Structure 1
Amino acid sequence: MVRRIDVTGAGGVKLAAWEYADPPKGLPEGGTADRHAAAADRPSVLLLHGLMGRASHWAATARWLAERNRAIAVDQRGHGRSDKPDAGPYDRDAYVADAEAVIEQLGLAPVILIGHSMGALTAWQLAARRPDLVRALVICDMRASALGAQSQREWAEWFTTWPVPFATLADVRKWFGEDDPWLERPRQERGEFYAEVMMESADGWRPVFSTEQMLRARETWVHDAHWEELAQVQCPALVVRGLDGELGRAEAQEMVRVLPQGRYAEIPDAGHLVHYDSPEGWRRALEPFLEEVVQD
């Protein structure tokens, strides 16, 4: 079971969030409202997707989290069913303030933040700025080092290679899972990931986001390193990387060293989309950490 919750983010931006509770073990036998009310007394988890992602990408994770926790996933501004204001802003302060608003308006504090890629950066920046709101942190495949101008140019060029509109969802899955020039080897899970962020229009399937807005959002963090804020995170933090992901082992281990309470996990047979590529390995990495921080 899942229910949508509307939240007001920074500057009045409307954000769409989803609460998962299916089936939370040990909860009352009553209706959905009773179960969600009981779940509210459990430790809270907020899931933050990466650039181009959406809350539904967390569905499988949120469902097993909901067995013991109140699990919330949110479409961040510019993504999914949340507002996509032409003027933005799409900077770091806006994304962090949005996550802060979700936590405060839904009464989630102290919350466990689980972030993937850009969502992980948002999570640790919020944990550094508002330690009172955050119980623990999971950082999934996000670098603390600056990526640089070349990286931004490559992304802009990559967007131009997309054969939009796609005629069918099968074409979406095939292109992102097999034909994308950025792909080193076929990965079915990647095709499924991108199929989730497409919507049908009059002439075919197009992304639910604006690629121009995605580039604007990325522009605000790729040129800077984020080690200083990482070092300010005082809560327990787990750094997770896919063996074939974008976060290298040496950098991940340095991030763990910089974090005052850092831990490390590596997922074999996974690339950047760790929770899609290896859902079982992802769960095995997270569950011991989550059990530990809830007991503390």
Structure 2
Amino acid sequence: MTTFLYGANVAANGIRQHYLRYGGADGSRAKRPAIVLIPGITSPAITWGFVGEVLGRTHDTYVLDVRGRGLSSASPTLDYSLDAQAADVAAFVAALGLREFSLVGHSMGARIAARAALHAPRGLASVALIDPPVSGPGRRDYPGKLPWYVDSMALARSGTDAEGMRAFCPTWTEAERQLRAEWLHTCDERAVLASYEGFHTDDFHADAARLAVPSLLMTAQNGDVVRDEDVAELQRATPAMLHVRVPNAGHMIPWDNAAGFYAAFSDFLGAPLAY
């Protein structure tokens, strides 16, 4: 049975923020922090719906469309900086009146979550950082190359299907590629370019070192986004940070090893995830 409740929009931080809600705040879920899931650079909320379905079994779950993606606000004049994205998250939880919540961010979303935590939003219980780009000033480049994003978005804008996405996502299922083909055109190229530049100019390590709530770092065994030495550096700066490396998975961890992804949380979010 599905845990999907509805999609909705809220006015927060001066923009329209679209989200999908799973699970609800009834029963045992009411005793646990809600989850606010922040996807990556070219991932509208709907593409993380299969994860929202699972999280919704145990937690009241909100999957965000980051500004410039999906059905949230986008425009030529919109600020697509990391600070603006982080302020969106703080305004979102305030607008919805979430009393206690955890931020779960993947890739770009992990960097947003770490920066948002510095705003000390009321009710923040914990932060989970899933395979965050550790690039930044004076560090190695992010291994994902910009043409992969630009070319796939251009193809999606012109109209394509699951087969057209195969060249970009060869290991994904047909259903996953079809969903990406349907929704990738909603990613504003200006937003993606700004976020990609931010991967190399914003200091994620400095943000992660200032986390004042329990934190979990989840990394992929494959893909070279977070190396062992990166994990060691992050844990030296934040000794209480937990770390789990998920085997047999690349950067898009739940696509490659769903069971390993959910198991990696253990009871960090207040209860084991019912996968």
TM over 0.5: yes
Structure 2 residue 133 is matched with structure 1 residue 143: yes
Q: CA deviation at 1:159?
A: 4.4
Aligned-partner Cα distance in 2 for 1:241–1:224: 20
Structure 2 residue 26 is matched with structure 1 residue 6: no
TM-score when scaled to structure 2? Answer: 0.84
Q: Counterparts in 2 of 1:254-293, with a 5 A limit?
A: 254-291=233-270
Mean CA deviation greater in 73-82 or 139-148 = 139-148
Q: Counterparts in 2 of 1:31-46, with a 5 A limit?
A: 42-46=32-36
Structure having the higher Rg: 1
TM-score when scaled to structure 1? Answer: 0.79
Counterpart among 155, 165, 173 of residue 164 in structure 1: 155
Structure 2 residue 161 is matched with structure 1 residue 177: no
Aligned-partner Cα distance in 1 for 2:261–2:104: 12
SS at match of 1:164: helix
Query: Is this contact kept in 1: 2:146–2:196, CA < 8 A?
Result: no
Q: CA deviation at 1:39?
A: 5.2
Once the two structures are superposed, residues 111-130 of structure 1 have per-residue CA deviations (whole angstroms, 9 ceiling, x without a partner) of: 11100011001101111231
Aligned-partner Cα distance in 2 for 1:117–1:63: 20
Q: Counterparts in 2 of 1:120-131, with a 5 A limit?
A: 120-130=110-120
Q: CA deviation at 1:146?
A: 1.1
Counterpart among 96, 109, 113 of residue 86 in structure 2: 96
SS at match of 1:222: helix
Partner letter of residue 222 of structure 1? H
Aligned-partner Cα distance in 2 for 1:112–1:254: 24
**How many corresponding residue pairs?**
266
Query: Is this contact kept in 1: 2:133–2:199, CA < 8 A?
Result: no
Percent sequence identity is 23
Structure 2 residue 183 is matched with structure 1 residue 188: no
Aligned-partner Cα distance in 2 for 1:292–1:2: 21
Counterpart among 51, 63, 82 of residue 61 in structure 1: 51
Structure 2 residue 227 is matched with structure 1 residue 244: no
Query: Is this contact kept in 1: 2:19–2:64, CA < 8 A?
Result: yes
Structure 2 residue 40 is matched with structure 1 residue 77: no
Give the aligned partner of residue 193 of structure 2: 215
Query: Is this contact kept in 1: 2:219–2:244, CA < 8 A?
Result: yes
Higher relative contact order (CA closer than 8 Å, sequence separation 6+) = 2
In structure 2, do the counterparts of structure 1 residues 240 and 155 end up closer, same or farther at CA, with 3 Å as the change threshold? Answer: same
In structure 2, do the counterparts of structure 1 residues 160 and 55 end up closer, same or farther at CA, with 3 Å as the change threshold? Answer: closer
SS at match of 1:138: strand
Q: Counterparts in 2 of 1:219-230, with a 5 A limit?
A: 219-230=197-208
Query: Is this contact kept in 2: 1:231–1:260, CA < 8 A?
Result: no
Partner letter of residue 269 of structure 1? N
Once the two structures are superposed, residues 132-176 of structure 1 have per-residue CA deviations (whole angstroms, 9 ceiling, x without a partner) of: 441011100113341779958984444454472566423234222
In structure 2, do the counterparts of structure 1 residues 231 and 98 end up closer, same or farther at CA, with 3 Å as the change threshold? Answer: same
Aligned-partner Cα distance in 2 for 1:154–1:58: 20
Once the two structures are superposed, residues 240-264 of structure 1 have per-residue CA deviations (whole angstroms, 9 ceiling, x without a partner) of: 0110131112202321332252000
SS at match of 2:260: helix
In structure 2, do the counterparts of structure 1 residues 87 and 152 end up closer, same or farther at CA, with 3 Å as the change threshold? Answer: farther
Give the aligned partner of residue 32 of structure 1: none
Once the two structures are superposed, residues 273-294 of structure 1 have per-residue CA deviations (whole angstroms, 9 ceiling, x without a partner) of: 012211110010113222379x
Unaligned runs of 5+ in 1: 28-37, 179-186, 201-205
Instruction: Give me the CA root mean square deviation.
Output: 3.0
Q: CA deviation at 1:3?
A: 0.7
Q: CA deviation at 1:6?
A: 1.1
Partner letter of residue 4 of structure 1? G
